Structure 1
Amino acid sequence: MTQRSPQSRPAAQPRPTDAYTALVNTELGRRIGRALGLPRPAPLRRHTPGAALADGPVLVLGETSVAEDIAQLLLRWGLDVRRHIGGEERLSGVVACFDAVSAPGDLQETVLRLAGVQRQIAPSGRVITVLRDPQEARDPSVRAARRAVEGLTRSLGREMRAGATANGVVLQESLDAAAPGVAGVLRFLLSGRSAFVSGQFLSVDSVNGTLPEDWDRPLAGQVAVVTGAARGIGAAIARTLRRDGAQVIAVDVPAAGEALASVANEVGGTALQLDITAEDAGDRILEHAEQRHGRLDVVIHNAGITRDKLLAHMDASRWSSVIAVNLEAQLRINRRLLASELFSHAPRIVSLASTSGIAGNRGQTNYAASKAGVMGMVAASAPELESRHGTINAVAPGFIETEMTAKMPTIAREVARRLNSLSQGGLPEDVAETVAFLASPAAGGTSGMTLRVCGQNLIGA
């Protein structure tokens, strides 16, 4: 089973995220690193429009109908798909299907086949496991087997080398691989868009969603709002959404007006100066979208602040301001948007959470509370969005190379960079790629979840 696409362009060239990563990937740096026993993080293959989805064979393991459907899907994308492989040929990816396991003993055959090819996975390669939702299994043996796949995947993520990653796709009990959301998730995880995502699971719970005619412009014709768009991750999100075809409404506070206008001009969008904590923020977003674009499809809640202090020294202002911007503003805006006909046709909401909201962080009780609250909001809001064929999800970044992290003390910054399975910090574009995927119609089967973009950070679940 082999098919290649003559139109495929070469995969994007890996780019280092920091000076140390660049140094230890030179010939001299490699020799010094080996001599001193230093970690050698690999430059990651990130997405470039028009680049090949995979630049080598993709092996599909498993004898289930889901495995066969996935193999056929990958063939339709023009990939070199294998069901068996011999020799030492390099693999761009492995999709290991465990969807039919009903007892722990069922894991062994596929696990050992995966073990046999692990050393053949190319730099920045991908391993994707496929399983049924453990929470839907009432039988202890079935649930044990499914949870075992989760543990296997997370541990494999820690063992991957040279920028390769391991993630999982969790299918709702009765869902088959023909659901659009399955194709969307598989393509995201195989691609350079997921470069800084590892040890994570994406659930596909419904048949909602549509696949784009052009995978490089999945948001063509859509109108998207991005809050906190004047700089950093917000600006990267605005650029990525525009690259993917969306018309962008860039939102930020009046004090950031000059930077906001610059971003809006760069992406050919419009700027809206707005304090998102204002009672009428939702109304102003709707009014702007209707007057300028006549529609609203996507809202990205990126705006956020920190006011760090140990709890023993926390005051009312530090606490309330963080909760107001990071959490209460999103709740209020969502209520207003979801009450509007303008935002009722398969809407998408993506909120920025944080790994601090998962594992906590010293001096950030207010920030961690707000970000954990965002995750709770997303999970509870999913049924309401589903009723209108929409989705709501959160993205939880780990250590990302931004202006804020650049101001950290050097040693603390270097330690933070290395505390994940990829041994480096992520880039704002890594967060933006994940946000753009979750905002796309192809992610229509995924809702109510939080996806970490942290290189499989050593803290949290």
Structure 2
Amino acid sequence: MTDRYTKAVNSGFTKTLAKRLGLPRPAILRRYRAGDPLTVGPVLVVSDGASKADADAVAQTLLGWDLDVRRDPTDDVRWGAVVLVLTETARPADASEAVLSVGSVLRRLAGNGRVVTVSRAPADGDAPELAAARNAVDGFLRSLAKELRGGATGNGIVLTGGAAVDQTSVRATLRFFLSAKSAYVDGQLLPVGPADAEAPTSWDRPLEGKVAVVTGAARGIGAAIARTLARDGATVVCVDVPAAGEGLARTANAVGGTALQLDVTAEDAGQRILQHARERHGGLDVVVHNAGILRDKLLANMKPAQWDAVIAVNLAAQLRINEALLDAGLDGLHVVSLASTSGIAGNKGQTNYAFSKAGVIGHTRATAPLLGARGGTANAVAPGFIETDMTASIPFATRSVARLLPTLSQGGEPVDVAEAIAFLASPAAAGVNGQVLRVCGQHMVGQ
């Protein structure tokens, strides 16, 4: 299901024909464009009784963004979003009225609408009933997301460590989930801790004045990341191997940044990245580990060179660069690494790739507290099936099936990965640390 197919089955004669033939009709997803409204209609905020104060605070945040906020479900509204606040729910039965209130308006949720839950994570020492109520939101949200249609998505914010609903990181996460920037993020629950930051001067340019490095930036997802970070205000250092020099220069010129020809597997890659950023731009605030390769083979047929090359580029290079950055003692550094749903659920013929991407998740979680001690973060983004030159080489039948597996019934675009990275790289997301955000359209595996 290419973008051409999606457009065809949503317009004109081919739309009618697709309906008659019962063909899959993935919705055209709404993606971010400057100047567009944050949501596609009014926002309904509901809660159980115990969570009313937090729901009031959420409503005030939304009103501050000039949204039309309602507190009571009515039959005459095409809802742009529903926010369900269950932060103080103490027993499973306490959530029933609020949950069913959400259900009563789902038929009036607009295309590309949003459902967002706000809840608290179970904590050590919770009574069994409280732990049950808190953990139950996870299964509810993931299941609800699979029921939504027309490009609508469902995602959840999970407060940890005493985080408050009105802190900047929680508001930034809520804004991301409500916006068109999260078009291909579906069925995900993102923990947000108490670490906080000042709200950005402009929510449209949260990276203003920051210096960001993107590896593997010559094309595909890397180029999309560079463009998106630049759009959000960052000065971007684009890194790729010398063989990709022409594409690298093209990307750097397009975003008004600089190009650094560098093999990330080089022993001194971290030092050279830091030196370039400091000498050319005065510092370093964001590093995006995007560079990666595939050498797919069944393990029985895999040669040592195929295994070793993938581990060297996808995993060992990130570890070595991170070590150099940690040794430099940078304050407020935000590192975002590219993982994959293959590293979460595995994939036939990708033992080397899945090993490397699961390793990325492991080092991200271990690096998070080290950067957090200096006001920074380490997070990972795990893409599912994304429409790139790499996936275009997959056999047609396999590619078509892969597009049908997500709840959104289509592949994502490079910009979907880039939007998630830009959010995690922003200072406003300081409370999100050590997490893996899946950008997979709620793929049926790895959830």
Matched, 1:352 2:352: no
Q: What runs of 5+ residues in structure 1 fail to find an aligned partner?
A: 1-15
User: 2:116 matched to which residue of 1?
Assistant: 128
CA contact (8 A) 1:208 1:389 kept: no
Q: Of the candidates 405, 420, 426, which is equivalent to residue 406 of structure 2?
A: 420
Q: What runs of 5+ residues in structure 2 fail to find an aligned partner?
A: none
Q: Of the candidates 18, 21, 24, which is equivalent to residue 3 of structure 2?
A: 18
Q: Of the candidates 230, 245, 252, which is equivalent to residue 264 of structure 1?
A: 252
User: 2:239 matched to which residue of 1?
Assistant: 251
Cα shift at 1:458: 0.8
* RMSD, aligned CA: 1.2
Matched, 1:330 2:315: no
User: 2:347 matched to which residue of 1?
Assistant: 361
Matched, 1:85 2:83: no
Q: Of the candidates 218, 221, 225, which is equivalent to residue 213 of structure 2?
A: 225
Amino acid corresponding to residue 160 of structure 2 in structure 1:
Q
- In the TM superposition, structure 1's runs of 4+ consecutive aligned residues that sit over 6 Å from their partners are none
Question: Cα deviation per residue 1:199-232 (whole Å; 9 max; x = unaligned)?
Answer: 0011111232231111111100000000000000
CA distance in 1, matches of 2:401, 2:74: 40
SS for the counterpart of 1:345 is: coil
Cα shift at 1:141: 1.4
Matches within 5 A, 1:143-162: 143-162=131-150
Cα shift at 1:137: 5.6
Deviates more, 1:31-40 or 1:252-261: 31-40
CA contact (8 A) 2:197 2:428 kept: yes
SS for the counterpart of 1:134 is: coil
Aligned residues with identical type, % of pairs: 58
Q: Of the candidates 37, 40, 51, which is equivalent to residue 55 of structure 1?
A: 40
Taking a change above 3 Å as real, the CA distance of residues 59 and 320 of structure 1, as seen in their structure-2 partners, is same
CA contact (8 A) 1:394 1:450 kept: yes
Amino acid corresponding to residue 356 of structure 1 in structure 2:
S
CA contact (8 A) 2:162 2:194 kept: no
Q: Of the candidates 334, 339, 361, which is equivalent to residue 375 of structure 1?
A: 361
Cα shift at 1:17: 5.4
SS for the counterpart of 1:60 is: strand
Deviates more, 1:34-43 or 1:299-308: 34-43
User: 1:31 matched to which residue of 2?
Assistant: 16
Matches within 5 A, 1:260-299: 260-299=248-287
Question: Cα deviation per residue 1:258-288 (whole Å; 9 max; x = unaligned)?
Answer: 1101111111110001111111001101110
CA distance in 2, matches of 1:381, 1:133: 22
User: 1:8 matched to which residue of 2?
Assistant: none
CA distance in 2, matches of 1:264, 1:53: 29
SS for the counterpart of 2:379 is: strand
Amino acid corresponding to residue 256 of structure 1 in structure 2:
A
CA contact (8 A) 1:17 1:427 kept: no
CA contact (8 A) 1:210 1:444 kept: no
Cα shift at 1:134: 2.2
Cα shift at 1:78: 0.5
Amino acid corresponding to residue 306 of structure 1 in structure 2:
L
CA distance in 2, matches of 1:369, 1:100: 39
CA contact (8 A) 1:331 1:377 kept: yes
Matched, 1:202 2:190: yes
Cα shift at 1:136: 4.4
Deviates more, 1:441-450 or 1:401-410: 401-410
User: 1:315 matched to which residue of 2?
Assistant: 303
Q: Of the candidates 133, 156, 166, which is equivalent to residue 168 of structure 1?
A: 156
CA distance in 1, matches of 2:362, 2:123: 18
Q: Of the candidates 160, 171, 174, which is equivalent to residue 183 of structure 1?
A: 171
CA contact (8 A) 1:17 1:43 kept: no
User: 2:430 matched to which residue of 1?
Assistant: 444
CA contact (8 A) 1:59 1:91 kept: yes
Deviates more, 1:235-244 or 1:17-26: 17-26
Q: Of the candidates 340, 348, 371, which is equivalent to residue 385 of structure 1?
A: 371
Cα shift at 1:173: 4.4
Taking a change above 3 Å as real, the CA distance of residues 443 and 17 of structure 1, as seen in their structure-2 partners, is farther
Q: Number of matched residues?
A: 444
Matched, 1:456 2:442: yes
Amino acid corresponding to residue 446 of structure 1 in structure 2:
V
CA distance in 2, matches of 1:235, 1:228: 8
